[in-house]
Chain A
Amino acid sequence: MEREIFIRAENLTKIFGDLVAVGNINFQVFKGECFGFLGPNGAGKTTTMKMVHCVLPLTAGTLTVAGMDVTKQAREIKKMIGVVPQEDNLDPDFTVFHNLMVYARYFDIPKAEAHKRAEELLRFVQLEERRKVLIDQLSSGMKRRLILARALINEPQILILDEPTIGLDPQGRHLIWDKIRSLQKQGVTTVLTTHYMEEAAQLCDRIVIMDYGKIIEEGRPGDLIKKHVGEEVLEVAYDEGVLKFIREAFPDARLDVVSDRIQVFTNQPRGVFDEILKKFDLKAAMIRDANLEDVFLKLTGRRLRE
């Protein structure tokens, strides 16, 4: 099946002074998919997002959205995009409801229509009862939900989510995920950045991992896990003897010693660790499914960035 490319970046570059924030990256987002950007702080994710929704000019390369050049048709592109920014920038001078109405006016949505959509969206994000409340009386979860509602006021075909669940409790996070999934079902193309690997694994059809302004890996979350860290991970309490034993038992495995634990990654299929555990009594051993966080740490390292 031929899929329509909705966002296409070719040799996209952004330089601030002498910092290369985004260096020569290429990616394509297909219509209707959820595409994720992962990476440590400062990797260039947000910069890339801002170029896509036409608020940051490019230094070099080309970037098209729905076939339109971001440098020439910014206005047209912005009409079809909804943005959930990383920072809360709701208008504190207005109530919840008025925030949506004022935002609708920026999109030239007629008042009656805006009213109807604002009502629907408040219901969608479960904030109807807060409609008359000022922004600073909302919890951070409510603010994120309202920002999501605001991003939907122009019925966007593309939704840009820059860390949509940052700072939320698990309940708040799951609610946002549900909403994003239901938008995906309606065919909205979603581009997302996140630090939460679970979020990317839950929502994204495809992801790229960025580091130092470059794309270092690209693929489906499941494929990347298989490719880089296999299906299962064995974790054992650190011990010289055990380390030696594992090296012999799995000569081709990758071992990671993190503080007082040993993590063992192998390309072999599921079940390989069970045998070992049956034969030997390893202290505090645990077998768990490999996940995207393992991939992420393998590719970007454990060093803090800031």
Chain B
Amino acid sequence: MKTSRVASYFRIPKLSYRVWRVWRRDEDVFMKTYKVNFIPSIVEPILYLVGLGFGLGGFVRPQEGLPYIVFIAPALVAASMMYSSFFECTYASFVRMYYQKTFDAIIATPISLEEVIAGEILWGATKSLINSTIVLGVISLFGLFSSSFFLLIPPLSFLVGLLFSAIAMCFTAITPNIDSFNYPSFLFITPMFILSGTFFSITSLPVQAQIVANVFFPLTHAVALTRALTVGRLSATLLLNLSWFLITTPFFFILSINLMKKRLIK
């Protein structure tokens, strides 16, 4: 009895090409307003680079053997993957689900709820790809990337975005209201932004905090991968970082769909 309850959270969803119909809907909305959508992605990294990289960076000793601005540049790209996908599948998905009743409208067609949720998550991953690629482009203009492996970052950003979208969708499935997204935002996303080896090397943290950052913070692994690709420091530990995503993503993807079904199909 007990095992079957747990199993009910991990039923493999039945998905078809119709997932892309949902993705296309979100993409259509995005393309209508793309000019406005691009502004934050362009302005924010420049502010951080100038303020922290050039400004603060003058006082900070090199981190992991890299000049400070070179150290933080890839972290800004990784953070944009996290923010764009997480917020897409929390606030934006919640608005579509709860206020706009968009999901209700779609499931009255041959598309299933499972496909709606999967489509939303794929769109969240796409937002990660779009936004982080813009950030990547902007930062590359500063000449901070010394390896052409940085061209592998866009496909990586889709994978990273997929995980953050799936985690976000789990929160969306259980949140009582839109204000409650403050909890994951301030207790999960913000700590990650600061403590995932983004603005200083993770080795400066106490050991316990290092363990937390490595075990529970996806951003730690995203930053490690992104940084390695921008400076061309390839090593076997990157495979560990990558496997972290390959293992957790299907877990949260499937969990989020089942949680959503429990929320919306009574």
In the complex, what residues of A have CB within 8 A of residue B104's CB? Answer: 55, 85, 87, 89
Q: Tell me whether A55 and B28 are in contact in the complex, defined as CB-CB below 8 angstroms, given that A89-B100, A89-B101 are known contacts.
A: no
Report how far A83 CA is from B104 CA in the complex, Å.
Answer: 11
Tell whether, in the assembled complex, residue B110 and residue A105 are in contact, meaning their CB atoms are under 8 Å apart.
no
Q: Which residues 31-88 of A have a CB within 8 angstroms of B? A: 53, 55-57, 74-75, 78-79, 81, 83, 85, 87-88
Which chain A residues border B243 with CB–CB below 8 Å? Answer: none
**A106 cross-chain contacts in B, Cβ below 8 A:** 18, 21, 106, 109-111
| B20-75 CB contacts (< 8 Å) to partner A | 21, 24-25, 28-29, 32
How many positions in chain A have a CB within 8 Å of any CB in the partner chain? 28
Which chain B residues border A89 with CB–CB below 8 Å?
A: 100-102, 104-105
Separation in Å of the A53 CB from the closest CB of chain B?
6
A273 within 8 A of B: no
Residues of chain A within 8 A (CB-CB) of B106 are 106
Shortest Cβ distance from A104 into B: residue: B109
List chain B residues, Cβ under 8 A from A78.
108-110
Chain B residues with CB under 8 Å of A102's CB are 24-25, 28
Q: Which residues of A contact B111 (CB under 8 A)?
A: 106
B103 to chain A, nearest CB (A): 9
Q: Which of A56, A79, A90, A108 contacts B266 (CB 8 A)?
A: A56
Q: Which A residues are in CB contact (< 8 Å) with B102? A: 89, 91
Do the beta carbons of B100 and A91 come within 8 Å of each other? yes
Residue contact A108 to B105, C-beta cutoff 8 Å: no
Is B234 interfacial (CB 8 A cutoff)?
Answer: no
A103 within 8 A of B: yes
> Which residues on the A side are within 8 Å of B265 (C-beta)?
55-57
Given contacts A94-B28, A98-B28, contact A103 B100 (CB under 8 A): no
Would A55 and B25 count as touching, CB distance under 8 A?
no
Supposing A89-B100, A91-B102 touch, asked if A55 and B107 sit within 8 A by C-beta, the answer is yes
Contact between chains at B24 and A55 (CB < 8 Å): no
For residue B241, CB closer than 8 A to chain A, the reply is no
Q: B17's closest neighbor in chain A, by CB? A: A108
Q: Is B110 a contact partner of A75 (Cβ separation < 8 A)?
A: yes
- Asked if B112 CB lies within 8 Å of chain A CBs, one says yes
Q: Tell me if A92 is interfacial: C-beta within 8 Å of chain B.
A: yes
Instruction: Specify which of B21, B107, B110, B112 lies most central, judged by the most chain A CB atoms within 10 Å of its CB.
Output: B110
User: Smallest CB–CB gap between B96 and chain A, Å?
Assistant: 9
- B110 & A90 in contact (Cβ 8 Å cutoff): no
| 18 A-B pairs (CB sep. < 8 Å) | A53-B108, A55-B108, A57-B265, A74-B112, A75-B112, A89-B100, A89-B102, A89-B105, A91-B25, A93-B100, A94-B28, A94-B29, A98-B28, A105-B25, A106-B18, A106-B106, A106-B111, A108-B110
Closest 8 CB pairs of A and B: A89-B101, A106-B109, A89-B105, A93-B29, A83-B108, A75-B110, A78-B110, A89-B104
Q: Using CB atoms and an 8 Å cutoff, list the residues of chain B in contact with chain A.
A: 18, 21, 24-25, 28-29, 32, 100-102, 104-112, 265-266
**Which A residues lie at the B interface, using CB under 8 A?**
16, 53, 55-57, 74-75, 78-79, 81, 83, 85, 87-94, 98, 102-103, 105-108, 154
With A89-B101, A93-B100 given, name 16 new contacts (CB 8 A).
Answer: A16-B266, A55-B107, A55-B265, A78-B109, A87-B101, A89-B102, A89-B105, A91-B100, A91-B105, A102-B24, A102-B28, A103-B109, A105-B25, A106-B109, A107-B109, A108-B110
